[in-house]
Chains A and B, each alone.
Chain A
Amino acid sequence: NAGVTQTPKFQVLKTGQSMTLQCAQDMNHNSMYWYRQDPGMGLRLIYYSASEGTTDKGEVPNGYNVSRLNKREFSLRLESAAPSQTSVYFCASSESEANNYGYTFGSGTRLTVV
């Protein structure tokens, strides 16, 4: 039972490089989310997908794009990485957009932009 799988686990980028973070869930959840976690600031929502075919901005969307490829997969793309994007990124999923039962998180991607 894999739950939510994120790749890669670690990444170092140079300023201006691009990359895509991958996320897949096998729980048949409808909603998926991308958060970033920075020291002292908690988890902040970047983008979310309430259901397959829809995406919406969260609290901190600038510099990111997302794709809900199908019900299972939700990717996050950094087009031109900046040092301010150094963070830990978590993908999460929930049964529905109402999130009545909480999230299941992936193991995270630790990204450093130099």
Chain B
Amino acid sequence: QKEVEQNSGPLSVPEGAIASLNCTYSDRGSQSFFWYRQYSGKSPELIMFIYSNGDKEDGRFTAQLNKASQYVSLLIRDSQPSDSATYLCAVNKGAGGFKTIFGAGTRLFVKA
């Protein structure tokens, strides 16, 4: 089992729809969770981080965390073609280290 798992996609949604990206993690002691966006040929860019169970909203983006079920998700409302990218989930491991583990990413394609 990978420490951080994401569906590789591609996830295809029409413009204006809600895109839902999911991530599961194995270390129950994990404490910090991050979403990065990576355009093709570019470096990852931090979108959001979340620490507590529940939702955190920032503009069109909402991160959701459920520690009991060990998953974190990212919702993108009113999806735009410019949102087409690979989205990386990253998790800070719990006790014994502070290393950040990345998922392999989900490719999102927003159709105009």
Contact = CB atoms under 8 A, between A and B. Distances in A.
Contacts of B88: 42-43
Contacts of B99: 45, 48, 58-59
Contacts of A44: 102
B100 A99 contact: yes
Interface residues of A, number: 24
A90 B43 contact: yes
Contacts of A59: 99
B100 A42 contact: no
Contact of B43 (A45, A50, A100, A108): A108
Contacts of B102: 35, 42-44
A103 B100 contact: yes
A40 B8 contact: yes
Contacts of A41: 104
B42 A107 contact: yes
Interface in B72-111: 88, 90, 92, 98-100, 102-105
B46 interface: yes
A42 B104 contact: yes
B25 interface: no
Nearest to A98: B98
A63 interface: no
Contacts of A106: 43
Given A59-B99, A99-B92, A99-B100, 12 more contacts: A40-B104, A42-B88, A42-B102, A43-B44, A44-B102, A90-B43, A90-B44, A98-B92, A103-B100, A105-B44, A106-B43, A107-B42
Interface of B: 4, 8, 32, 34, 36, 42-46, 49, 51, 88, 90, 92, 98-100, 102-105
